[in-house]
Amino acid sequence: MTHGTTDERTAIRLDRIRKSYPGQTRAAVEDLSLEIPEGRIVVFVGPSGCGKTTTMKLINRLIEPTSGRIHLDGTDVTEMPAHQLRRRIGYAIQQTGLFPHRTVADNIATVPKMLGWNKARVTARVDELLQLVGLEPGTFRARYPKQLSGGQQQRVGVARALGGDPQVLLMDEPFGAIDPLNREALQNEFLRIQSQVRKTIVFVTHDIDEAVRMGDRIALFSQGGRVAQYDTPENILAEPADGYVADFIGAGASVRRLSLLLLGELAVPDWPVIGQSADDAEVAAAAARCARDRLLVLDADRRPTSWVPLFGPDRERGEKLPVQGSMGPRDSLFDALDHMLSTNTSVVAVVDEEGRHRGALEMDSVRSLINTAGRREPSGPPQEV
Ligand SMILES: Nc1ncnc2c1ncn2[C@@H]1O[C@H](COP(=O)(O)OP(=O)(O)OP(=O)(O)O)[C@@H](O)[C@H]1O
């Protein structure tokens, strides 16, 4: 079965690929057919030894398939000289693989120099890439890898992989050695870069959270390079294809799914509001019409400022309660829940891109949004941050 995509252009097509290493009783990749869409991030995820790295190395022919064909942009590249192919494909790996005795600039310049670019063009490209990955060229150009933090080295690794402006970027556990906090920052940074460069990216990880965060699409591998499910993160979490996938994504799947449900894409319930200058009579009239335990106060620009409690001790004290931060369109249901729990409030205001009132969420409405959020089609827009 080909694990394909719907209406997108296919950048890479693996056609019945098999790879047996010498002396292996079972092939590392038995019979894999897979289409990778252009300009998206496809994440290979799965347990150790299931053939993720082998598949990735087959794409840029660091290793040769035992049988099967590989197509890049519709052209069969299985017989193309490997060095020619690799210029079109950037490669970034864990531990960065930077040359220790070369400066940051020299490392990033590797492919541009190989391509025969002149000095001025190479220098301009190095600086452009350093800027792109958030490293100030003046500070970092002349440093050596050991003079950088792990995260900075990883950024240089990404910059180097992008050096010759390849169509395709292969990334093998690029953030594997980074601590969780910096790792999340690097992931976000990388998604920001991708929203600018729009490369076709194959990203290997064994971490399902990283796969969900990074992937436009996830290929979940099982032993022998089999793809157990190839789908959007949303669909894999919501509808695992079988018991193997369900086990791999584990018990945290519903929580992970929450983080994919963005408020901007959901129907947020309205909430009764009053203006900032409302007097007691207006508040009383609004309260009489209101089935909630509080009214939301908006300023003249319709931005939420505070809550007026209608019941309980807060009401008796006659105090307004501060809004304590509202949720925007790019916040997720997970963020909304987290906010409620960490601020110990039962309701959170939701605003639009400009910070204006959209509605509000309570636990009950979060629950019903989770239940009604349907499947999303795999052909959704590329992930942006
Ligand atoms: N050079 C090699 N020679 C022989 N066997 C190999 C070689 N490289 C990988 N293998 C075997 O092929 C299988 C697939 O390995 P591969 O590295 O592709 O898995 P992986 O999914 O990337 O694993 P991990 O997450 O541990 O990196 C494993 O059984 C591995 O032992």
* pLDDT at position 377 over 70: no
Percent of the chain with pLDDT over 90: 45
* Spacing, Cα 21 to ligand 1 middle (Å): 9
Distance of CA 31 to the CA centre of its chain: 28
Closest C-alpha to 236, from 219, 213, 258? 219
Higher pLDDT, 309 or 200: 200
pLDDT of residue 58: 92
Average pLDDT value for residue range 37-49 = 94
* Spacing, Cα 219 to ligand 1 middle (Å): 17
Average pLDDT value for residue range 50-55 = 93
Rounded distance, CA 131 to CA 137, Å?
A: 7
Q: Best-predicted range by mean pLDDT among 51-65, 91-105, 272-286, 307-321? A: 51-65
What are the extents of the domains in the chain? 10-252, 265-372
pLDDT of residue 96: 62
pLDDT of residue 303: 95
3-state secondary structure at position 259: coil
pLDDT of residue 315: 65
Rounded distance, CA 200 to CA 71, Å?
A: 14
pLDDT tier for residue 7 given thresholds of 50, 70 and 90: low
Within 10 angstroms of residue 322's Cβ, the number of other Cβ atoms is 12
3-state secondary structure at position 43: strand
* pLDDT at position 316 over 70: no
Question: pLDDT tens, 61-82?
Answer: 889 999 999 999 988 988 888 8
Percent of the chain with pLDDT over 70: 92
Q: Positive or negative CA dihedral for 239, 244, 249, 254?
A: positive
pLDDT of residue 69: 94
Cβ-contact 72, 202 below 8 angstroms: no
Ligand 1 binding pocket mutation candidate from 17, 45, 53 (most atoms within 8 A of CB)? 53
Cβ-contact 273, 295 below 8 angstroms: yes
**Beta pairing, strands 294-298 & 273-275:** parallel
The most distant pair of C-alpha atoms in the chain lies apart, rounded to whole Å, by 86
Over its C-alpha atoms, the chain yields an Rg (Å, rounded) of 25
Q: Environment class of residue 123 by beta-carbon count within 10 Å: exposed (0-12), middle (13-18) or buried (19+)? A: middle
* pLDDT at position 385 over 80: no
Q: What residues pair up with 290 in beta bridges, in sequence order? A: none
Q: What's the whole-number average pLDDT of the chain?
A: 86
pLDDT of residue 29: 96
Average pLDDT value for residue range 107-111 = 90
Ligand 1 pocket member 57 (CB < 6 A): no
Higher pLDDT, 73 or 312: 73
Using CA positions, which residue lies closest to atom 28 of ligand 1? 49
Rounded distance, CA 257 to CA 241, Å?
A: 16
3-state secondary structure at position 206: coil
Rounded distance, CA 269 to CA 172, Å?
A: 42
Give the ipTM of the model, two decimals please. 0.96
Rounded distance, CA 244 to CA 247, Å?
A: 5
What's the token pair of residue 258?
Answer: 């929450």
CATH topology (fold) of 265-372:
CBS-domain (3.10.580)
Question: What is 10-252's CATH number, 3.30.390.50, 3.40.50.300, 3.30.70.100, 3.30.70.20?
Answer: 3.40.50.300
Ligand 1 pocket member 48 (CB < 6 A): yes
Cβ-contact 7, 62 below 8 angstroms: no
Rounded distance, CA 71 to CA 112, Å?
A: 24
pLDDT of residue 83: 80
Rounded distance, CA 35 to CA 134, Å?
A: 32
